[in-house]
Homo-oligomer: A and B are copies of this chain.
């Protein structure tokens, strides 16, 4: 079915930085087919009036753990180790598939309502997560974060290897690319070289990307250097982990040598400013990574360390944090942040999204510029990045399908999901059941 979005200002996110007033964007199937300032002749299909709105590519959340939406605000106010060991891990031990399903749907609904159309998720119960993503309608690169604590490693019996092989088989490329399966290593400190080598080879052999937590905390970074004589980026590089399209989440303590590797190998750094600040991890060197040629994108991380899925918040924080940290008002700006959340995210995930261009996925959102916090408007991109929040999104189209409009979810039965979270998942996870 064709859909015409008209009467809006389109921030195209092309190389030229085009902001097109009175835009007409035509979508057919899952793709954008034309963009212009004239009504396509003879068009008779469905139309969406974007009056007073700004049209933007859907936002790309490059690092998250969606089911953790169940744990929003649980155990915060404790230090990281206490939080993980006494709050998060005991809850995570109680997951079942039914709980994962509703908590994933809840997190996806929040993402959809705040303008995200594409995510990179790393968690457990990946089949259930994939099914919920397919049903919700957005696009996802899914991974399950391989760990290796067992002293013996045999890929034929290693649970994470077996699981990744089966998941790649079932999900990679599913739904005309709606789902991609990324190989993954949870982190250097939760695995060993045998798994790194295996995962690198597995990704290469199957044309998969790679998703790894990298240098999130000073401790983790320093201990890796103690163990291996090199930083996490460099340690994993020895085993070919970065020989495929990769996403390195956090990169707070990465070095100039690390950035050279990431840039040379086309590995993207995912900046998660809310999570890194809240957990006291630190401030990632985003302007320096950018200057070194690293593709830097954005993520919310799980909401238990954020505590929401609002990519507009991440954009604003990314745009202002580094100015303050460096005492340089020009360290990063609104366009940098918007690129991180769109085109850079698309590149990180190997997807043709993040731009309003013919041939790109029809991942499009409308932002309601009649809202008070977006008025007056001297510069739409400034307002989007510094003044907007996710609640200003009034339409979300993912892969050509309108999945959210004016508060209504068209692919998720939200009341049913909330009941299931309240009556099943929360009691199960928090031991009150």
Contacts and interface: CB of A to CB of B under 8 A. Distances in A.
A173 B382 CA distance: 39
A337 to B, nearest CB: 11
Interface stretch (A30-38, A41-49, A156-164, A384-392): A384-392
Q: Which residue among A218, A274, A278, A283 has the maximum number of chain B CB atoms within 10 Å of its CB?
A: A278
Interface string A283-323: 10000000000000000000100111110010011011101
A422 interface: yes
Interface string A371-403: 011011111001100110111100000000000
A277 interface: yes
A113 B372 contact: yes
B382 A278 contact: no
B326 A383 contact: no
Nearest to A381: B73
A308 B387 contact: yes
Contacts of A320: 274, 277-278
Contacts of A387: 72-73, 303, 306-308
B307 A383 contact: yes
Given A274-B320, A372-B106, A334 B386 contact: no
B375 A418 contact: yes
Given A391-B391, A426-B376, A73 B383 contact: yes
Contact of A324 (B110, B276, B316): B276
Q: Is the interface of A mostly helix, strand, loop or mixed?
A: helix
Interface string A76-111: 111110010000000000000000000000100110
Q: Which residue among A310, A375, A391 has the maximum number of chain B CB atoms within 10 Å of its CB?
A: A375
Contacts of A330: 77-79, 280
Within the oligomer, what is the number of copies of this chain? 2
A325 interface: yes
B274 A76 contact: no
Q: Which residue among A114, A372, A418 has the maximum number of chain B CB atoms within 10 Å of its CB?
A: A372
Contacts of A329: 78-80, 83, 278-280
A413 to B, nearest CB: 13
Contacts of A335: 77
Given A71-B378, A218-B327, 13 more contacts: A72-B377, A73-B377, A73-B383, A76-B379, A77-B330, A78-B329, A277-B321, A278-B329, A279-B323, A313-B389, A375-B421, A376-B421, A389-B389
16 contacts: A72-B375, A72-B382, A73-B382, A73-B383, A73-B386, A74-B379, A77-B330, A113-B372, A218-B327, A277-B321, A278-B324, A279-B329, A280-B329, A306-B386, A307-B383, A308-B386
Top 3 closest A-B pairs, CB basis? A277-B324, A73-B382, A280-B329
